[in-house]
Amino acid sequence: MTRPPISALLIAGPTASGKSALAIRVAQATGGVVVNADSMQVYADLRIITARPSLEEEREAEHRLFGHVDGAVNYSVGKWVEDAKAMLAELAGQGRLPIFTGGTGMYFKALLQGLSEIPPVPDEVRARVRAEAEGLTPEEIHARLMALDPETAERLRPTDPQRNLRALEVFTATGQPLASFQSKRGAPLLDPATTAAFFLLPERDALKARIDARFESMMEQGALAEVERLAARRLDPALPVMRAHGVPGLIDYLAGRATLVEAIERGQRDTRAYSKRQVTFVRHQLPEFEMVKPEGAWDAVSAAL
């Protein structure tokens, strides 16, 4: 049976696995558009520390949904889906291939499996929950959620204040656990039958070395000054942009709570831990993806187009 023409290409993988370079190469070969599927690369405030494509790379192929959100915005997967849906309609009208690339598993899951139908949280409820959580540690926020919604709290890491706050908001607004809504999904944006999906999986030791080296390169490129400008905005520390890997440690350094060496080591350690979670997520929740070694990714992608 002949496979239908590909209408979308997904390139995922752990951080520092070479996704962006591959996506640009495919875009140049097909006239396609590189579309961001990384929850931190949406923010205008952070180009260096999130490894967002450089201006030079953006000139090599058209890029969409990169750096289009202000850091003060509590951007979510739901908002990203709205942006992606509009962008997909535009590209379909032009007959151009969308090449989604990034490391945020929930973005890819929404594309292929649909988004959980969670009721909107009124602004006044969100403001009240966040005001009550101001000054609390991530662990204290998680403990508060555990007391109200243990079903959801057991699924979330105590060190992830953003997701725990989101669960608190939903419970406060609806009186029901966030977990109860997550099994109800809307229609996916993409048809798996006409979507090719690849996950770049480098050797573990090589990936660790690349992550550490890249963070040091970010520092040389001006990551500290970038984070200093972000810190000067005095945004809510629970906002997603404030939790980008490397940001908390460098803010601690700027505030005199850590040495620069400690901040760099924390950024590298957090990124390495995140890369493990990325691999675990795709293995357990994204069966649509084919695992490929970075060195064989071009051949695998070319065969699918």
> Which CATH number is 189's domain given?
3.40.50.300
134 & 245 share domain: no
CATH code of the domain containing 176: 1.10.20.140
User: Where does a domain end: 182, 201, 221?
Assistant: 182
Q: How far apart are CA 293 and CA 212, in angstroms?
A: 20
Residue 162 in contact with residue 236, Cβ under 8 Å? Answer: no
Sheet of 195-200: strands edge to edge?
63-64, 33-36, 98-102, 8-12, 195-200, 290-292
Quote the domain boundaries for residue 248. Answer: 8-115+185-304
User: Where does a domain end: 166, 182, 198?
Assistant: 182
pLDDT at position 185 is 73
212 & 277 share domain: yes
242 & 285 share domain: yes
pLDDT at position 20 is 94
| Calculated CA dihedral for residues 185, 186, 190, 191, nearest 10 degrees | 80
296 & 219 share domain: yes
Residue 32 lies in a domain: yes
213 & 109 share domain: yes
283 & 202 share domain: yes
Residue 250 lies in a domain: yes
User: Where does a domain end: 164, 182, 200?
Assistant: 182
75 & 98 share domain: yes
148 & 79 share domain: no
Which amino acid, one-letter code, is at 166? R
Q: How far apart are CA 143 and CA 199, in angstroms?
A: 35
Give every CB contact of residue 122 below 8 A, 6+ residues apart in sequence.
Answer: 173
Residue 3 lies in a domain: no
95 & 232 share domain: yes
Residue 195 lies in a domain: yes
245 & 175 share domain: no
Residue 2 lies in a domain: no
- Number of domains present in the structure of the chain: 2
pLDDT at position 2 is 44
207 & 94 share domain: yes
pLDDT at position 4 is 58
Per-position pLDDT tens, the chain of length 305: 345 589 999 999 998 899 999 999 999 999 999 999 999 999 999 999 999 999 999 999 999 999 999 999 989 898 999 999 999 999 999 999 999 999 999 999 999 999 877 777 888 888 888 888 888 898 999 998 999 889 889 988 888 887 898 889 888 988 888 888 776 777 899 998 899 999 999 999 999 999 999 999 999 999 999 999 999 999 988 889 999 999 999 999 999 999 999 999 999 999 999 999 999 999 999 999 999 999 999 999 999 98
13 & 108 share domain: yes
Residue 245 lies in a domain: yes
pTM confidence score:
0.83
pLDDT at position 91 is 95
pLDDT at position 199 is 97
